[in-house]
């Protein structure tokens, strides 16, 4: 409750903006046995909190100014008291730090301008002793190592103001250590004063600025201890410190990647280190100085984490719209008359019912006989070799849905014509719903394809040449590649690359080679929320053909020309729609 009131008062002070004449000031500090009294020139509003590593009590006084004051303590618990100006803008706060030798309880009382803080050492916990027979010892189990806490990478980022005029650098860093909740030890060459005037800057920047202007470096010794030394001393320590070897068991990080990163860090920090990997045990063996081992542990703790998995749901919809219209005519004529021992011939006809032995009674339409051969000559069926020459069926495959045939038959003559027409309309929707899971930042592939074989011939240069027939396959169909990356805010960035291929209807395959292939693809990077859907469209294949076959001159005659030509119209439109939905699992 007191913290809420203190926060409310700070907000009111920030809005009202207290003037210099309205600010209280710390007058003095008096020390007793495990107690201290802070005297101000007027009553102040205060708040307090404790820190356990190391043990400290921090007292903050609102709308108060203070000059630097330090007092040594007496008793079993209170070691010393330091008063510093913590912030000046937007609110002026003076801070008193009570350094303790161990865990203790405390009591704060305020009488007008005096704030008295008393401490009492905590009683040690007594282990319970049982007179009963001791229970059998439990089997020891391996305790998983805690993640290494990197102090320098987790410096506070709250905005503060700092005003120091020649203050001792160790005293300044002590105040900052209290704010960070860590212990600091100093090398012998850390000395001198600090002139620093910073307003509204992050605490981490202020700390690094103090180190930079004094030519100092911070070296982490443990999760709660920082060693402050000059850069020259640190470099000397790195080159002369004894090395130790540690084994790091990796769970998810690849050994080769871990080795490369650790070696780069060792090299960048100027240390003498050695790294080996043992794939069978998924372990990394590092030989380095103790502080370097701490740096390696911090690096691996941040990188060797369970990767996030993403489920990719893809809906692929292909709409195939096609229509065609064909109109054609086919003429044929057959006839024959007596001429010696044979028959005259006119027309293309069919040889399926011809007699083949000379002198036999001819049936149907037969070939001419010139008296020199013993069998009839074969009758050509190809209209290019005889007959009327007008053959325009609706399609090459004789796909006829409607036809009308008419003709005249006499004793020796048959003349007919076949009008044929075919019309096709199609509409097809193909829906596939594949799902695939992948690790964060790794590629996932979805393939819905067909293997189309084609035959090639390979000939060697030997004598004689040796030819070999080879069957090769070409892949056509739908191929979708998705690479997801999960961002810190929970959104997902995806690299999407769909590709659609099919055998070309317009490009003829090379003789003895691969068929032509039509390909449509796209490549895009999109960002979406978890579970939202991204749509990709516009992958359209549109083919149109309008073909007219005719007999020269005869096909150009108005109206009658339709008896000597063929017309074919067709259109095929294929549209592909792809819907991609990522889900974090």
Answer yes or no: are the C-beta atoms of 353 and 362 closer than 8 Å: no
Q: Are 210 and 256 in contact (CB under 8 A)?
A: no
Q: What is the pLDDT of residues 421-440, one digit of tens each?
A: 666 666 656 667 888 899 98
Q: What is the pLDDT of residue 147?
A: 52
Convert 23-91 into a string of H (helix), E (strand) and C (coil).
CEEEEEEEEEECEEEEEECCCCCEEEEEEECCEEEEEEEECEECCCEEEECECCCEEEEEEEEEECCCC
pTM of this structure:
0.46
For residue 398, is pLDDT > 50? no
Report the Cα 172 to chain-centroid distance in Å: 45
**Predicted local distance difference test score (pLDDT) of residue 422:** 63
> Taking 80 as the threshold, does the pLDDT of residue 337 lie above it?
no
Query: Rounded CA gap, 117 and 30, in Å?
Result: 11
Q: Which residue has the higher pLDDT, 496 or 364?
A: 496
Higher pLDDT, 334 or 122: 122
Listing DSSP states for 514-533 in one string gives PPPEEEEE--EEEEE-TT--
Q: How far apart are CA 484 and CA 493, in angstroms?
A: 6
Grouping H, G, I as helix, E, B as strand and the rest as coil, residue 300 is helix
Dihedral of CA atoms 355, 360, 366, 369 in degrees, nearest 10, equals 130
Q: At what angle do helices 169-180 and 203-213 cross, to 10 degrees?
A: 150
Q: What are 209-246's pLDDT values in tens digits? A: 999 998 898 888 777 888 899 888 887 877 777 888 98
72-126: pLDDT as tens digits: 887 888 888 889 888 887 778 889 999 888 888 888 888 888 999 999 887 655 4
Q: Which domains does the chain have, with CATH numbers?
A: 24-121 (2.60.40.3500), 159-237 (3.55.50.30), 243-306 (3.30.1370.120), 324-349+374-424 (no CATH), 427-584 (no CATH)
The 8 Å CB, 24+ separation contacts for 453-458 are: 454/509, 454/513, 454/514, 454/515, 455/512, 456/512, 456/513, 456/514, 457/512
Within 8 A by CB and 6+ apart from 568, the residues are: 324, 325, 326, 327, 328, 394, 395, 545, 546, 547, 548, 549
Q: Which residues of 167-206 are buried (b: 16+ CB within 10 A; e: fewer)?
A: bbbebbbbbbbbbbebebebbeebeeebebeeeeeebbeb
């Amino acid at each position: 409750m007191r913290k809420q009131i203190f926060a409310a008062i700070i907000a009111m002070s920030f809005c009202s903006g207290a003037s210099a004449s309205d600010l209280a000031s710390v007058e003095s500090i008096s020390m007793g046995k495990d107690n201290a009294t802070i005297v101000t020139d007027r009553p102040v509003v205060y708040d307090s909190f404790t820190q356990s590593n190391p043990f400290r009590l921090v007292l903050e006084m609102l709308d108060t100014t203070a000059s630097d004051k330090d007092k040594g303590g007496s008793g079993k618990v209170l070691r010393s008291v330091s008063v510093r100006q913590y912030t000046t803008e937007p609110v002026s706060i003076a801070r008193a730090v009570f350094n303790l030798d161990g865990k203790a309880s405390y009591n704060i009382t305020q009488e007008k301008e005096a704030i008295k803080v008393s401490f009492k050492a905590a009683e040690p916990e007594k282990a319970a002793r049982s007179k009963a027979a001791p229970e059998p010892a439990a089997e020891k189990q391996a305790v998983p190592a805690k993640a290494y806490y990197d102090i320098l990478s987790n410096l506070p980022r709250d905005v503060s103001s700092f005003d120091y005029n020649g203050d001792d650098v160790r005293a300044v860093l002590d105040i900052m250590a209290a704010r960070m909740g860590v212990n600091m030890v100093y090398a012998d060459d850390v000395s001198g004063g600090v002139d620093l005037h910073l307003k509204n800057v992050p605490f981490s920047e202020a700390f690094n600025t103090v180190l930079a202007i004094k030519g100092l470096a911070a070296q982490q010794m443990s999760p709660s201890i920082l060693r402050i030394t000059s850069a020259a001393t640190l470099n000397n320590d790195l080159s002369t410190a004894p090395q130790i070897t540690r084994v790091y068991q990796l769970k998810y990080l690849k050994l080769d990647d871990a080795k490369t990163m650790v070696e780069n860090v060792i090299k960048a920090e100027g240390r003498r280190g050695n790294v080996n990997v043992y794939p069978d045990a998924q372990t990394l063996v590092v030989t380095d100085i103790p502080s370097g081992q701490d740096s390696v542990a911090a690096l691996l703790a941040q990188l060797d984490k369970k990767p996030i998995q993403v489920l990719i749901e893809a809906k692929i919809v292909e709409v195939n719209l096609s229509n065609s219209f064909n109109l054609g005519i086919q003429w044929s004529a057959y006839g024959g008359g007596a001429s010696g021992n044979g028959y005259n011939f006119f027309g293309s006809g069919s040889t399926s019912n011809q007699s083949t032995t000379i002198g036999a009674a001819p049936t149907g339409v037969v070939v001419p006989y010139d008296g020199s051969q013993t069998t009839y000559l074969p009758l050509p069926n190809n209209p290019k070799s005889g007959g009327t020459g007008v053959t325009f069926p609706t399609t090459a495959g004789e796909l006829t849905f409607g036809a009308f045939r008419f003709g005249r038959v006499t004793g020796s003559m048959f003349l007919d014509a076949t009008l044929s027409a075919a019309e096709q309309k199609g509409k097809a929707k193909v829906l596939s719903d594949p799902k695939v899971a992948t690790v964060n930042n790794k590629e996932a592939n979805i393939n819905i394809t067909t293997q189309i074989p084609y035959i090639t011939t390979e000939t060697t240069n030997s004598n004689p040449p040796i030819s070999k027939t080879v069957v090769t396959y070409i892949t056509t169909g739908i191929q979708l590649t998705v690479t997801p990356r999960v961002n810190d805010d929970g959104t997902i960035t995806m690299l999407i690359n769909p590709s659609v291929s099919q055998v070309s209807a317009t490009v003829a395959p090379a003789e003895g080679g691969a068929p032509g292939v039509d390909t449509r693809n796209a490549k895009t990077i999109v960002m979406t929320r978890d579970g939202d859907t991204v749509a990709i469209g516009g992958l359209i294949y549109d083919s149109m053909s309008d073909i007219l076959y005719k007999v020269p001159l005869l096909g150009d005659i108005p109206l009658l020309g339709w008896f000597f030509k063929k017309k074919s119209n067709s259109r095929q439109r294929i549209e592909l729609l792809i819907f991609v939905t990522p889900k974090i699992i």
